[in-house]
Amino acid sequence: MTIHVHPLLLCGGSGTRLWPLSRKSYPKQFAKIMGHDSLFQQAATRLSGEGFTPPVVVTGNDFRFIVVEQLAATEIASQAVLIEPEGRNTAPAVLAAALVLAEQEPQALILVAPSDHVISDAAAFRAAVQAAAPRAQSGDLITFGITPDRPETGYGYLELAEGADAAATTPQTLARFVEKPDAARATEMLASGNFLWNAGIFLFTAESLIAAFRAYAPDVFAPVEEAVRDAQFDLGFTRLAPKPWKNVPDISIDYAIMERASNLAVMPYGAGWSDLGGWDAVWQESAPDAAGNVTSNNATAIDCTDTLLRSESERVELVGIGLDDIIAVATSDAVLVAHKSHAQRVKEAVAALKAKGASQATAFPVDHRPWGWFESLVVGNRFQVKRIVVHPGAALSLQSHHHRSEHWIVVEGTAKVTIDDKVQLISENQSVYIPLGAVHRMENPGKLPLTLIEVQTGSYLGEDDIIRFEDVYARGQGPKG
């Protein structure tokens, strides 16, 4: 009999190790790193259909509309989207979701799944979840362990208890969690056959998890319970209360619960998994050719071996000549070149860019908004040129600016434009001027995306020069609200 599982998708991280494609403003879970769908969409699809309820998603305020948009593109409706006031690691996020689910179903079976992992055999993973479900229903806390195929130093490990089988198809007794090892220790653990990688995937009932937090992490339980109790509902989102959330410790579910609880078991899984924790992992998961190379559509490898060449921009052709064990990733505004053995040091590059004040450290060239997206094409002294795309039926806020005027040129679709008391339709090849200080709004009344070019001129062109008077997305003030 199929057991119904509630997927809990965690997607609040920043993913700095896959810079420049993953940045704080648009992290790796929402990017199309492997295939035509984002990692988040792949996770949602993998955990949908027979045996799964609609997912619960925990994310940050800036990503809430991206979550809804990407789920809609896969025709998956969420059960709930919880908004964290600020990131506090995995323990508070998981507990908040468990408390929400427990209000309706205390025995709800929850599968905690990071939304930025790659699992190549979805059917095998779903089967493993079903195999682990009875043990979780009995009250145990199940963690998933990946069969290691190399002495990896970037993962934590799970040590099996004496007599447990690392190749079993049912949950096994877990002895202990092991921190990330050095190379020598990782080699020893691989040879022993008694260790699995810690995948950060968990299965338990809401009731069992809540009981564990009460017993082992009351300092986490109390403020999270208050944040859920005082949550506000906003446009279909559940906003956890910010005041008690400030008192929530920043702690992972491993440290808060899993390493302390006695009712643990591990479900071995060996059918293909990666957390895509670096560009070396992307290279490995991308099926290198006979020479060991992985290239994107806009990249060319000449006399290269074991190299990843990837360009994310149609305007940037990336060419490698005579390279060995190199990672080169180009976007429209940044280029990363690194030896594959140093892939885990990419986060150092992000820190260095932050220190020098480079916007590329955190801001993606394409800025996603609930109504669509825009990208800056040219930025100069007192002017900026943007490409703006507005989804069908969407509308920007009714707003004004203190420091800039704008000129809009429609290149595709039709725009409904409000400027003070005047409303007009602007079609392809037509334009309109918005004077400094004018109250204005742009809408897409059509059935197809609206594309336009915006030319801004003024003394200050920052995104925080926006005063919102009305907004269908209830974003409030600030660059994104």
Q: Give the CATH number of the domain where residue 141 resides.
A: 3.90.550.10
pLDDT confidence tier of residue 478, bands split at 50, 70 and 90? low
> Between these two residues, 467 and 15, which has the higher pLDDT value?
467
Residues 418 and 347 both lie in one domain: no
Q: Does the pLDDT at position 221 exceed 80? A: yes
Task: Give the pLDDT confidence score for residue 406 in this predicted structure.
Answer: 96
CATH classification of the domain holding 416: 2.60.120.10
Residues 117 and 90 both lie in one domain: yes
Q: Does the pLDDT at position 249 exceed 90? A: yes
User: Of the residues 239, 274, 309, which one is the last residue of a structural domain?
Assistant: 274
> Between these two residues, 474 and 99, which has the higher pLDDT value?
99
Residues 237 and 92 both lie in one domain: yes
Residues 119 and 246 both lie in one domain: yes
pLDDT digits (tens, 9 = 90+) for 277-317: 899 999 999 999 999 999 999 999 999 999 999 999 999 99
> Between these two residues, 25 and 418, which has the higher pLDDT value?
418
Q: Does the pLDDT at position 479 exceed 70? A: no
Residues 447 and 431 both lie in one domain: yes
Compute the mean pLDDT over every residue in the chain, rounded to the nearest whole number.
93
User: Of the residues 356, 387, 418, which one is the last residue of a structural domain?
Assistant: 356
- Among residues of the chain, what percentage have pLDDT more than 90? 83
pLDDT confidence tier of residue 1, bands split at 50, 70 and 90? low
Q: Does the pLDDT at position 481 exceed 50? A: no
Average of per-residue pLDDT across 155-167: 91
Residues 152 and 185 both lie in one domain: yes
Residues 344 and 370 both lie in one domain: no
User: Three-state secondary structure along the chain?
Assistant: CCCCEEEEEECCCCCHHHCCCCECCECHHHCCCCCCCCHHHHHHHHCCCCCECCCEEEEEHHHHHHHHHHHHHCCCCCCEEEEECCCCCHHHHHHHHHHHHHCCCCCCEEEEEECCCECCCHHHHHHHHHHHHHHHHCCCEEEEEECCCCCCCCCCEEEECCCCCCCCCCCEEEEEEECCCCHHHHHHHHHHCCEEEEEEEEEEEHHHHHHHHHHHCHHHHHHHHHHHHCCEEECCEEECCHHHHCCCCCCCHHHHHHCCCCCEEEEEECCCCECCCCHHHHHHHCCCCCCCCEECCCEEEECCECCEEEECCCCCCEEEECCECEEEEECCCCEEEEEHHHHHHHHHHHHHHHHCCCHHHCCCCEEEECCEEEEEEEEECCEEEEEEEECCCCECCEEECCCEEEEEEEEECCEEEEECCEEEEECCCCEEEECCCCCEEEECCCCCCEEEEEEEEECCCCCCCCEEEECCCCCCCCCCC
Residues 418 and 376 both lie in one domain: yes
Residues 222 and 285 both lie in one domain: no
Residues 346 and 384 both lie in one domain: no
> Is 478 within a domain?
no
pLDDT digits (tens, 9 = 90+) for 27-83: 999 999 998 999 999 999 999 989 999 999 999 988 998 999 999 999 999 999 999
Residues 22 and 115 both lie in one domain: yes
Q: Does the pLDDT at position 261 exceed 90? A: yes
> Is 475 within a domain?
no
Residues 26 and 72 both lie in one domain: yes
Domain hosting residue 347, numbered range:
279-356
Q: What's the structural domain count of the chain? A: 3
